[in-house]
């Protein structure tokens, strides 16, 4: 008979099992998700458990890692949720008998949580409660919450477990970056202490990194009062015909398993790429090894908060320093196809000569193929000497690519980022291209704010902090005003520091917009797009998303005839005169490279 798990923890090293998915693939049962085999091929799942037990595992994990509703929805298996989790426990219990502990495996939702994604933390917690409730009711001995990258999501899973069963033992494992710069700071220790404070029994890490990197992580999270676990992957895989092939041998993994125990690990196993051969080698290597504690000296973090306000201001853009101190004016430049950016540089020179504070560089607007907005911004700033407001869309890059672009932008001196979601690829030059949309504009704003605090998207320390001005977009004239305002609030809460609006054409709607924004205490730069003709007005109103031109304005442009361009300037100048006291600046979008039109409107309105 096995002891209660908490008592067993006091007796020394416990061997956990290895990967379930890897073993099922070796058995030629590669259908996804692995949990589907709980009801399609339960004998194969039981065979995998038995092989790990025979190899020396004292804990086996139920085949339920992806068994939460959100993950199962992707496979249209959410209606089988209870069956998958209940049968996963029953299969494991049959294999475990009376001597082996059955751990209910719980992984993350597989979705980005707000504000990076659209999934609410409260919804994630309810999903965890649903799955954990089934696992506990089915009779697991403990829970293993594993492969959590987002600490907030791990917190939600722990809270869910505590509400379902306050007494259930919990192993909580966070996935850490393998970045040595992070591991050499206090950050990992702080994370472990935080997880421990949630009332879990064991804290550790699993997956993502191989045994050598896992050893570095464990040494970095050392804390005297914490029981540690470690389940490294079997190295970094190679993708062959869509299948991940791992290369770490059982002997190599076992060597580091011994070192992990010597560094303080009590629960040791393996993760992706591992097999019963790896677990057998680990069990043999750690037999009789004493759990030790190796205190590691760490250096303190340097964050933006430790800098003086003067130091922070020095690193930020001149444009950001002007906001609120003068009426700023920017002009959106027309970006041509191809490599020749001479017209862009010419436009930027005109804007600098006429006193504009910055130029806006769009990022593949309307999904057209154009040069990188960051590259153009760098060219403009270095060759012309006027600052750029660099638009960055989430459409074309995943979260890795977006953060890489931001790091590159900062290195090139690009400091003003206007975050947008971007138009879908299907309306552009290559409708067959795939839109990425890992995150929307709210999520990217949060990422930029994190970078300004020296953190990455998941809240891990990333080194030196950036110094971006974070701008966002808003549409005062949208048909769904309440939704637009709700999203704008989320943008500001996530870190937006200034708002650029879509073009406006009538004062009443804009006044309503300003009343909402007033409570946010964020400066507004109003979009001004002078109309060129009645045809131009009709095109913008009917064919360009987000632009709403009142019928009376379109009628006036129609009646103007050959004088329409002049009337368009008058309309914009009059509107700007009426609102200039309530906004921080103007964002001009002159049509067809007519930058002189922006200069005329600004002169007429501000003179």
Q: What is the pLDDT of residues 474-503, one digit of tens each?
A: 999 998 999 999 999 999 999 999 999 999
- For 344, 401, 415, 474, 524, the CA distances from 471, given in Å and listed in that order, are 22, 20, 11, 10, 10
Euclidean distance between CA atoms 276 and 270, whole angstroms: 10
Q: Which CATH architecture has domain 305-606?
A: Alpha-Beta Barrel (3.20)
User: Where is pLDDT greater, at 152 or 223?
Assistant: 152
The whole-chain average pLDDT of the chain stands at 91
pLDDT of residue 310: 47
pLDDT of residue 304: 39
Is the pLDDT at 248 greater than 90? The verdict is: no
Chain-centre distance for alpha carbon 600 = 42
Half-sphere exposure of 108 (CA within 13 A, CB side): 20
**5-286: CATH class:** alpha beta
In the chain, CATH 3.20.20.220 covers 305-606
Percent of the chain residues topping a pLDDT of 90: 77
pLDDT of residue 218: 86
Cβ atoms of 97 and 40 within 8 Å: the answer is no
Cβ atoms of 39 and 80 within 8 Å: the answer is yes
In the chain, CATH 3.20.20.330 covers 5-286
Is the pLDDT at 298 greater than 60? The verdict is: no
pLDDT of residue 179: 60
Q: What is the pLDDT of residues 403-457, one digit of tens each?
A: 999 999 999 999 999 999 998 898 888 999 989 999 999 999 999 999 999 988 8
pLDDT of residue 563: 95
User: Where is pLDDT greater, at 134 or 246?
Assistant: 134
Beta strands in 63-110 (DSSP E): 101-106
Rounded to the nearest 5 percent, the helix, strand and coil shares of the chain are 45, 15, 35
pTM of the entire predicted model: 0.83
Q: What is the pLDDT of residues 123-166, one digit of tens each?
A: 999 999 999 999 999 999 999 999 999 999 999 999 999 999 99
pLDDT of residue 519: 94
């Amino acid at each position: 008979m096995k002891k209660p798990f908490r008592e067993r923890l006091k007796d020394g090293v416990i061997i956990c099992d290895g990967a379930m998915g890897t073993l099922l693939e070796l058995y030629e049962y590669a259908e996804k998700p692995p949990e589907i085999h709980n009801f399609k091929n339960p004998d194969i799942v039981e065979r995998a458990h038995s092989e790990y037990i025979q190899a020396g595992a004292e804990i086996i994990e139920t085949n339920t890692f992806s068994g939460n509703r959100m993950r199962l929805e992707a496979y249209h298996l959410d209606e089988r949720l209870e069956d998958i989790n209940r049968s996963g426990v029953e299969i494991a219990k049959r294999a475990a008998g009376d001597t082996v502990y059955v751990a209910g495996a719980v992984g993350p939702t597989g979705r980005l949580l707000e504000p990076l994604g659209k999934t609410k933390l409260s919804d994630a917690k309810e999903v965890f409660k649903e799955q954990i409730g089934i696992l506990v009711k089915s009779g697991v001995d403990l829970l293993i919450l594993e492969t959590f990258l987002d600490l907030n999501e791990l917190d939600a899973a722990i809270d869910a477990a505590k509400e379902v069963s306050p007494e259930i033992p919990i192993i909580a494992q966070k996935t850490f970056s393998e970045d040595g710069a992070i591991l050499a700071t206090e950050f990992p220790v702080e994370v472990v202490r935080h997880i421990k404070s949630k009332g879990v029994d064991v804290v550790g890490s699993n997956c993502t990194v191989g045994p050598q990197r896992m050893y570095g992580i464990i040494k970095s999270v050392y804390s005297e009062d914490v029981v540690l676990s470690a389940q490294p992957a079997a190295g970094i895989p190679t993708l062959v015909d869509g299948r991940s092939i791992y290369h770490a041998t059982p002997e190599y993994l076992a060597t580091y398993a011994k070192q992990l125990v010597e560094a303080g690990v009590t629960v040791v196993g393996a993760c992706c790429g591992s097999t019963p051969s790896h677990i057998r080698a680990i069990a043999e290597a750690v037999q009789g090894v004493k759990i030790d504690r190796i205190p590691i000296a760490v250096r303190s973090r340097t964050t933006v908060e430790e800098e003086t306000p003067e130091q922070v201001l020095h690193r930020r853009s001149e444009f950001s320093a002007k906001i609120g101190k003068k009426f700023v004016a920017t002009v959106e430049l027309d970006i041509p196809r191809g490599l020749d950016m001479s017209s862009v540089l010419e436009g930027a020179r005109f804007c600098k000569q006429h006193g504009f504070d910055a130029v806006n560089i769009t990022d593949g607007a309307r999904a057209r193929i154009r040069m990188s907005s960051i590259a153009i911004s760098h060219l403009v700033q270095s060759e012309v000497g006027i600052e750029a407001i660099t638009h960055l869309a989430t459409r074309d890059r995943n979260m890795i690519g977006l953060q890489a672009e931001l790091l590159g932008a900062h290195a090139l001196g690009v400091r003003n980022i206007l975050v947008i979601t971007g138009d879908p690829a299907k309306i552009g030059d290559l409708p067959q291209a795939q839109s990425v949309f890992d995150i929307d504009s709210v999520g990217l704003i949060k990422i930029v704010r994190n970078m300004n605090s020296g953190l990455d998207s998941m809240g891990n320390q990333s080194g030196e902090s950036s110094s971006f001005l974070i701008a966002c977009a808003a549409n005062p004239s949208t048909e769904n005003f309440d939704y637009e305002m709700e999203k704008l609030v989320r943008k500001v809460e996530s870190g937006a520091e200034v708002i650029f609006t879509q073009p406006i054409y009538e004062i009443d709607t804009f006044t309503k917009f300003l009343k909402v924004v007033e409570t946010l205490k964020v400066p507004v730069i109003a979009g001004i797009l002078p109309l060129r003709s009645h045809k131009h007005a009709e095109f913008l109103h009917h064919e360009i998303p987000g632009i709403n031109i009142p019928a009376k304005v379109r009628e006036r442009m129609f009646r103007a005839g050959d004088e329409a361009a002049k009337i368009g300037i008058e309309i914009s100048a009059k509107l700007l005169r009426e609102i200039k006291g309530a906004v921080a600046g103007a964002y001009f979008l002159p049509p067809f490279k007519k930058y002189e039109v922006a200069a005329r409107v600004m002169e007429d309105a501000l003179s």
